[in-house]
Chains A and B, each alone.
Chain A
Amino acid sequence: SAVISQKPSRDICQRGTSLTIQCQVDSQVTMMFWYRQQPGQSLTLIATANQGSEATYESGFVIDKFPISRPNLTFSTLTVSNMSPEDSSIYLCSTRDPGANVLTFGAGSRLTVL
């Protein structure tokens, strides 16, 4: 299965700032997904990022707050904009292996907003 590297692994940020999370996959994948996990909660899908097209956002998530780039088949970024303490979460990048239905995750980026 694909190996996914995310960075930063963790960060502490100030209210009102923005942070970009990078996701690198060791093989070419069509579909990449960004999830958010708030403290003590399950995972919620933020958006689906396909190369060459705009990301598709889930209900409750908007591009102005969570802009996503997908410049090629192995890389994506998620920016958390104008952060508030409510954005303190683990943000996870995932992919579906080509030709398979199995979802694989990176180690996640743990953000704390003060």
Chain B
Amino acid sequence: GIQVEQSPPDLILQEGANSTLRCNFSDSVNNLQWFHQNPWGQLINLFYIPSGTKQNGRLSATTVATERYSLLYISSSQTTDSGVYFCAVETSGTYKYIFGTGTRLKVLA
């Protein structure tokens, strides 16, 4: 099956710093989402982005489907950005999402 690898696995930032999280996938995908899992375990959908670029406030994401990767940019990080970031992909005809390995982010005040 498809492999979904995220990097880096762990990241520590000072408040106000910028960061880039990467999601690589081993096969063609129909759909891709980025999620933030907060310290209480709730998964929040950040972006639905099978291709192209989207921005929402301090966050933006880019997916280059032909090269099988997606990037999540966090600018001016805040302590509330701490948690785990997952990408999830759906391959053609499966209707199910497979999750990446995750990036654990800690933002220090």
Q: Which residues of A contact B (CB under 8 A)?
A: 1, 31, 33, 35, 37, 42-45, 48, 90, 92, 96, 101-105, 107-108, 110
A102 to B90, CA, bound (A): 10
The binding surface of chain B is classed by DSSP as strand
Q: Are the C-beta atoms of B45 and A42 separated by less than 8 Å? A: no
Q: Give chain A residues whose Cβ lies under 8 Å from the Cβ of B30.
A: 101
| Per-residue A-contact encoding for B86-109, CB less than 8 Å = 1, 0 else | 101010000111111110000000
Q: Are the C-beta atoms of B96 and A101 separated by less than 8 Å? A: no
Q: Give chain A residues whose Cβ lies under 8 Å from the Cβ of B86.
A: 42-43
Q: Are the C-beta atoms of A107 and B101 separated by less than 8 Å? A: no
Nearest A residue to B33 via CB reads: A103
Q: Are the C-beta atoms of B41 and A42 separated by less than 8 Å? A: no
How many B residues, CB 8 Å from partner? 22
Q: Which residues of B contact A (CB under 8 A)?
A: 30-31, 33, 35, 40-43, 45, 48, 50, 86, 88, 90, 95-102
Nearest A residue to B97 via CB reads: A103
Q: Are the C-beta atoms of A108 and B41 separated by less than 8 Å? A: yes
A90 to B38, CA, bound (A): 13
Nearest CB in chain A: distance from B95 CB, A = 6
Nearest A residue to B42 via CB reads: A107
